[in-house]
A = this chain, B = another copy of it.
Amino acid sequence: MKNYDARQLAHAALQIADAGRDLAVRGWTPATSSNFSVRLDDAHAAITISGRDKGNLGADDVMVVDLHGKAVDTDARPSAETLLHTQIYARYADAGAVLHTHSHNQTVASRLWAKAGAIRFEGWELLKAISGTPTHETVIILPVFPNTQDMPALVKQVDAYIDSGTPLHGYLIDGHGIYTWGRDMAETRRHLEAFEFLLACELDLRRLNR
């Protein structure tokens, strides 16, 4: 069995707690929803334990899983959505952190664009905050997948999307919230902040333009 580095775990737990505190203050993690993870190496990730208050995380609220979502060295129960985190680490070798939050805008937008299956962002300067987007003229697509309690089914949907070759920087689940990732926690938080901002703008344009 391949082992993870305990110091890296401690560092990951700090990054997760720090992100949780900040995101909870913004109201993006209501009622113990949301989960956060950081890659430890090419076979392990640190992830939040199910049901904890995301605004007040400590080292005891983070556990290790392998990239199949199995708990490592612990009896704790990982978040129900662990497979959606480990899928990103398995599919994207350069992904270093994954954030799943549940803000008002993310949730409302997921319902509104569920039928269309995706939101198309265009003409926003803040698109440049998504890595690999050199100008505001780029179009970014954020898919919306149907919600289900059957995690393997959800994983399959995301796999099929990745296999289709369309660039993917994050996705919504209908009625549920967003998943996004980046090379490290700083980039992932920037991506999350950018998507939240863009969703809020698109929702408001719709309120104003109907």
Contact = CB atoms under 8 A, between A and B. Distances in A.
A102 interface: yes
B206 A129 contact: no
Main secondary structure, interface of A, reads helix
A124 interface: yes
B129 A31 contact: yes
Interface in A26-69: 30-33
B200 A126 contact: no
B203 A126 contact: no
A147 B112 CA distance: 28
B104 A200 contact: yes
A193 B104 contact: no
B129 A33 contact: yes
A203 B209 CA distance: 11
B123 A174 contact: yes
A200 B209 CA distance: 16
Contacts of A112: 205, 208-209
Contacts of A177: 125
Given A33-B129, A111-B205, A112-B209, 18 more contacts: A30-B197, A31-B190, A31-B193, A104-B197, A104-B200, A107-B124, A107-B197, A108-B204, A108-B205, A108-B208, A112-B205, A112-B208, A125-B147, A125-B175, A135-B149, A136-B149, A206-B208, A210-B210
A162 interface: no
Nearest to A111: B205
Interface in A135-162: 135-137, 147, 149
A173 interface: yes
Given A30-B193, A136-B175, A197-B31, A126 B102 contact: yes
Query: What 10 pairs between A and B have smallest CB-CB spacing?
Result: A31-B129, A125-B176, A31-B194, A31-B193, A30-B197, A123-B175, A124-B175, A135-B149, A31-B190, A108-B204
